[in-house]
Amino acid sequence: MAELPANLNTLWAEAFVAELALAGVRTACVSPGSRSTPLTLALARHPDFRVFTILDERSCAFFALGVGKASGMPAVAVCTSGTAAANFHPAVLEASHGEVPLIVLTADRPPEARDTGAGQATDQLKLFGTAVRWFFEVGTPELRDSALRHLRGLAARAVFAATRAPAGPVHLNFPFHKPLEPIPVPGDVPADFAARFPLAMRGRSEPAAPYARGTQAAPAVAPRVLQRLAEQVRAAPRGLILCGPMTFGTDGVGTKWNEWPATVAALARRTGYPILAEPPSGLRAGPHDQSHVVAHGEALLRAEGFRRRLAPQFVLRFGSMPTGKQQEVLLDEHPACPVVVVNPGGSWLEPTHHPAEVIAADPGLFCSALAECLPEVHAGDAGWRERFARADAVAAAALRDAYAAPEGLGDAWCEGRVFHELAELLPEGALLFTASSMPVRDLEAFAPKSPRLVRHLVSRGVSGIDGTLSTALGAATAHAGPAVLATGDLAFLHDANGLLAAKTENLSLTVVLINNDGGGIFEFLPIAAFGEEYERHFATPHGLDFAALCAAYGAELERPRDWADFRARVSRALGRPGVRVIEVRTERRANRAQHQVLWRAVAGKLALAGLA
């Protein structure tokens, strides 16, 4: 017979954690604290959990976010009371808007200690407001059968609420009286407890089935709706498929991330529509049919001569709004063009306010079902698709020439080229996490197509730069293969404490650090013309030595001499243990000029080819 829990707090936490494990949760991220001791020890002692201890609560929550983003299953983030819980808020917001499953467990003072001036206490009830899918105040532990059954059900419901579409964060608040440690308390857990309350002992001595479970089914579309959409496609030969960053659910529910590309490629063949896809859609890298995929849509649509010749009649959009703004410019020039937005949770992801129809459906199942409604011979406007295919090939050649030509950029450090090089370097099965701000825009604009299956992840829920390193580390732990983070210097600095987690937990990640000494994205905005005010308040140069910063955390930093050296260093770093930072030093103003060189190169080649 299993040994009885030391006290009621221990019992309460162990029962809840056991049910989380039975629901399939496997990863926990905890930040040290006293009030959360029962939860922390219950997770640490459970054989099915992998527990990461991360000092910085903000880093802890973003790490859990990365696990959920890569795995589709929520990780548990645990902290003590007070400001510790508030530090979870940025990651909770990203999880909410990015539709990433996350379970937040905050420990709390018991009710009599609240609003009394007791230390480390604040109002934690609904602390995260509308950002969570579900909040519940668990209540102090009770030795009653109904309370223990309720507790088991709460764990199952938390997993269900976090993973059902639209996925997102849930928050459970656990108040505990002392003692918080597993110190025996006479009478707290009676000797005949196991016989009187067998439910509470489930999972301590032998495997058990979940006490409760939530079963999900991928949403499908009614046949009449599919027939109507098929008719719209037939009536609109000049259509587009736009694919922004995608999120995918848990295994066994709906289309998986590596299955989705083939389904949308099949739909493109039936419709004859080009696919303007950014890498986090999963469509620019992999063995699927990429004949309809356009990799350089941002560069093409920036060429006004090319864009002005386009008049799309119908748009199918999957995932979040594409990162590049030129697709939005194109649609704004044709405000009557109808847009159909497909996502599993039915979130109204349509910020352009075009005449839109939002369809709550699994994207892969939707593509397959709509393709079946279209005859094989339907090919749309062949000239329309061919125009995009030719232009994409011209743009790819123009960019390659510009990188290499002395009259172009030659061997100069160019931020956009980083993503061209990484696309060539990353092996089958690799993961690339790209930071927000300028890196994600350069990824969208300059990453070419690749036949190797590489997974791209970004945080585009609220598109912040905070938590970048920690999120990438969390994603790397949930990914079976080499992992790379491409980040700017400010995002790296903002989350430097992620390096501490990497050191203490023996984590591995290759970091490509693009250092332009400040906020390079502001160079592309009108504020850049405002001299010293711009430099001090927006560009914010820091002048930091990243080698010294990395050394303080035990991470290695390398500075390649040129692009050949960059390729060699990245190749050596991939898959090696530990954190290796490869720093590419660029200059903000030069970067803006380099982008203009690249845009002009593409526009010029399009004009010579008669496409603009």
Mean per-residue pLDDT pooled into runs of 10, the chain (612 residues): 83 94 96 98 96 98 98 97 97 97 97 84 94 98 91 95 95 97 92 74 62 83 95 95 87 80 95 95 97 97 95 94 89 93 86 85 94 75 91 97 74 94 97 97 97 97 96 97 97 96 96 96 93 93 96 95 95 94 96 95 97 91
**Structure tokens belonging to residue 253:** 């529910």
Q: Which of 175, 195, 214, 127 is nearest to 12 (CA)?
A: 175
Predicted local confidence at residue 13, as pLDDT: 96
Distance of CA 222 to the CA centre of its chain: 30
Greatest CA separation for the chain: 87
Output b/e per residue, 556-577; b: 16+ Cβ within 10 A.
Answer: ebbbbeebeebeebbeebbeee
pTM: 0.96
Predicted local confidence at residue 251, as pLDDT: 58
Residue type, 541: P
**Structure tokens belonging to residue 215:** 């079963």
Predicted local confidence at residue 1, as pLDDT: 43
Residue type, 447: A
Residue 403, helix vs strand vs coil: helix
Instruction: Give the span between the Cα atoms of 80 and 86, in whole angstroms.
Output: 10
**Structure tokens belonging to residue 458:** 């970004």
Instruction: Give the span between the Cα atoms of 60 and 54, in whole angstroms.
Output: 5
- Strand pairing report for 455-458 and 431-434: parallel
Q: Which domains does the chain have, with CATH numbers?
A: 8-201 (3.40.50.970), 223-391 (3.40.50.1220), 415-585 (3.40.50.970)
Give the contacts of 506 (CB within 8 A, at least 6 positions apart). Answer: 577, 578
Predicted local confidence at residue 408, as pLDDT: 55
Give the contacts of 228 (CB within 8 A, at least 6 positions apart). Answer: none
Q: What are the backbone dihedrals phi and psi of residue 176, each rounded to the nearest 5 degrees, phi first?
A: -130, 135
Instruction: Give the span between the Cα atoms of 504 and 32, in whole angstroms.
Output: 13
**Structure tokens belonging to residue 320:** 């979040």
Residue written as tokens 């703004």?
325
Instruction: Give the span between the Cα atoms of 480 and 475, in whole angstroms.
Output: 10
**Alpha helices (H) along 290-361:** 297-302, 304-307, 326-332
Predicted local confidence at residue 206, as pLDDT: 53
User: What number of residues does the chain have?
Assistant: 612
Phi-psi region of 330 (alpha: psi -120 to 50; beta: other; left: phi over 0): alpha
Instruction: Give the span between the Cα atoms of 570 and 31, in whole angstroms.
Output: 32
